[in-house]
Structure 1
Amino acid sequence: MNEIYATVVGNIVGDIRRRRLADGTELAGFRMASNERRYDKSSGTWVAGETSYVSVTCWRRLGQNVAASFVKGDPVMVYGRLYTREYAKDGQNRTDLSLEAYAVGPDLTWCTAALTRSRRDAALRPEMDGEGSSVDADLGTVVVEGEDGGPDILGDDSDLHPHDASADEAHLVGGLPDGRA
Structure 2
Amino acid sequence: MKFEEKIRQNVECKIMKEMWEEIRVNYKKTAEERREFYEVRGLTAEEVERKRIEGAEPRKEILNLDEELQRKEQRKKIAESRYNPKYGEIIGGLKLPEYLIRGRKNEDRKTIARFRVGNKEGENCYWKEEEDRRCGLCREFPETIEHWLKDCEELREVEKDRNELLNETGDGLEWMKMILEKKRK
When normalised by structure 1's length, the TM-score is 0.20
Whichever structure has more helix as a proportion of its residues is 2
Larger radius of gyration: 2
Higher relative contact order (CA 8 A, sep 6+): 1
